[in-house]
Amino acid sequence: MAVKSRAEKPFNINMYFAHGNLKKDFPASVVVFLVALPLCLGIALASGAPLFSGILTGIIGGIVVGAASGSQLSVSGPAAGLTVIVFGAIAKLGTYETFMLAIVIAGAIQIILGIIKAGTIASYFPSAVIEGMLAAIGIILILKQIPHAVGYDADFEGDQNFVQDSGNTFSAIGAALGRISIGALIISSLSLLTLIYWPRIKKLSIFPAPLVVVLIGVGLNIAFAGTPFGLRAEQLVSVPIVSSFSEFTSLFRSPDFSQLSNKEVWTVGVTIAIVASLESLLSLEAVDKIDPTKRTSPTNRELVAQGTGNIVSGLLGGLPLTAVIVRSSANVNAGAQTKLSAIIHGFWLLASLVFFPFVINLIPLSCLAAILLFTGYKLANLTLFKKMWSRGRDQYIPFFVTVSAVVFTDLLTGVGIGMAVGVFFILRTNLRNPYFYTIAEEGNIRIRLAEEVSFLNKAAIQYALTHLPKESTVVIDGKNSRYIDQDVLEVIHDFQQNATTKSIEVKLKNIKEHYTVPPLKEMIYKPEKFN
């Protein structure tokens, strides 16, 4: 009987509240909250949407999607990769309420995709491409957080694209290095040192290093006030301050259902559904790669969870959401064990808006930048590059191309380029291995065909046959073949008929005149019954 992964087991609340899990999930949720908060605000700002919509999307991504998802470590929220689409769509549709309707439509489409099991597309992402995406995200985190670490960044928090409003990633770093804030640099430097050395002190390691970093950042921010090292407002987290419950409820909006017949709304909805689904599946695959316990997340359930989250987000006034690798990797590095971390982080986002926004607004972006710099280093360390190099060029080239493409373009474009290169190497390997060629004795050659011989193998087999030595005996054996494409069969039969011109004798063994693809039920392994 097949063993289910932990992610596929029936829901058991005791598993999440077990002392060993809760002890790690609770502090991890705080770390994810601290990372997610400025990202939610920055992405909302860049999307041309209200700041509240960014935090609301993070809350829904944590609580709703976190509870519905089968992934234990993935964290969802507003995605930087959708900012261009969102900004353009809001302008195109005229009102934010009309755009919210498009989000609801996108969510419904995602649920349908999950029901029809479209999530299986995730199984076709080559491992080298996923590894490359992770390394690229690590490099992007490092490059993008340097300006925040030194106290200056003209671009929005959470941007992952190489091209920015202010130029590109490298020009932004150059501009930032010319406007260093000493106070911010001191905070980020001390924060990095704390992240590196705090866990090595056994007596103190019970307190998570990222929480200590935030406390140091807040303390230094207060201490620097009124001095030349003082931080400006734009160098701090900025949460909208709500003074009453009625003011809080007034922030919610409702979609304009009167626009349901608007074709442009449906176009935007389909676009968001496709892009958000791809980004979520990529992030899910990447998180499974870095999960210490190597659990496998159900992809179809993830699409349903993401769709549910987007419907709720669209109905309440949020942004489109996806599973996000930055937050998810921070969750893994913080030591999370179960989905409880993602769910609690959603409640932290809600509490930050309602109960203690004044405290949150004291946190310097430079100390949060240090947390992301450290996360980036863990994703893109030299060991990973050495490991991929040792696997050979068929793995390293797609890996390296993906890294470069993601860093110098954006996530989906870069992964698309990496996929193209990865598929090329897969086809290249497949083309070179359609048969096993052995020379039994002088003049006797045996060619044993592989289990699956497709039309892609036609060129390789044709080349091998046309280059056989004259005056030889050739046995082409299809004993191991479950399927041989008709194009390949024609090549073999044509060669058999014309081989006499080269004094070659061709014998066919175990080769049928026609092959059909075996039914799926015959391809499933059925273990023997034990008496």
**pLDDT tens figures, 416-469:** 999 999 888 877 766 666 556 566 566 688 888 888 887 777 877 888 888 888
pLDDT of residue 454: 78
- pLDDT-derived band of residue 3, with 50, 70 and 90 as boundaries? very low
Closest CA to 343 of 107, 65, 71: 65
Q: Hey, is 33 helix, strand or coil?
A: helix
Per-residue tokens: 379? 């994703």
Q: In this structure, what are the phi and psi dihedrals at residue 131, rounded to the nearest 5 degrees?
A: -60, -40
Q: Hey, is 168 helix, strand or coil?
A: strand
Greater model confidence, 330 or 124: 330
- What distance in Å separates the CA atoms of residue 456 and residue 460, rounded to the nearest whole number? 8
Residue 523 has pLDDT above 70, yes or no: no
pLDDT of residue 513: 84
Rounded average pLDDT over 475-489: 87
What mean pLDDT, rounded, does the chain reach?
Answer: 88
Residue 148 has pLDDT above 60, yes or no: yes
Rounded average pLDDT over 161-172: 83
Which pLDDT tens digit goes with each residue over 312-349?
Answer: 999 999 999 999 999 999 999 999 999 999 999 999 99
Which pLDDT tens digit goes with each residue over 368-404?
Answer: 999 999 999 999 989 999 999 998 888 999 999 999 9
Greater model confidence, 135 or 484: 135
The DSSP bridge pattern shows strands 452-453 and 473-477 to be unpaired
Contact 150, 180 (CB under 8 A): yes
- What distance in Å separates the CA atoms of residue 104 and residue 83, rounded to the nearest whole number? 17
Contact 398, 418 (CB under 8 A): yes
Name residue, tokens 């489109």.
320
Which pLDDT tens digit goes with each residue over 231-246?
Answer: 999 999 988 888 888 8
pLDDT of residue 433: 60
Q: In this structure, what are the phi and psi dihedrals at residue 301, rounded to the nearest 5 degrees?
A: -65, -35
- pLDDT-derived band of residue 188, with 50, 70 and 90 as boundaries? very high
Helices 365-379, 182-197: crossing angle, 10 deg rounding: 40
pLDDT of residue 394: 87
Closest CA to 87 of 168, 166, 159: 159
Q: Calculate what percentage of the chain has a pLDDT beyond 90.
A: 58
- What distance in Å separates the CA atoms of residue 1 and residue 429, rounded to the nearest whole number? 33
Alpha helices in 334-485 (DSSP H): 340-354, 357-360, 365-379, 382-390, 393-408, 411-431, 458-466
Contact 40, 326 (CB under 8 A): no
pLDDT of residue 528: 45
Closest CA to 62 of 327, 269, 250: 327
Greater model confidence, 318 or 525: 318
Closest CA to 436 of 475, 387, 493: 475
Residue 9 has pLDDT above 70, yes or no: no
Which pLDDT tens digit goes with each residue over 39-71?
Answer: 999 999 889 999 999 999 999 999 999 999 999
Whole-angstrom CA distances from 186 to 5, 198, 462 are 45, 17, 67
Contact 184, 145 (CB under 8 A): no
Residue 115: alpha-carbon gap to chain centroid: 21
CATH of 435-520, one of 3.20.20.140, 3.30.750.24, 3.40.50.2300, 3.40.50.510: 3.30.750.24
Contact 43, 80 (CB under 8 A): yes
Provide the 8-state DSSP code for 204.
T
Q: Which of 2-16, 164-178, 321-335, 417-431 has the highest mean pLDDT?
A: 321-335
Which pLDDT tens digit goes with each residue over 247-282?
Answer: 888 899 999 999 999 999 999 999 999 999 999 999
Greater model confidence, 9 or 173: 173
- The residues spanned by each domain of the chain are 19-389, 390-430, 435-520
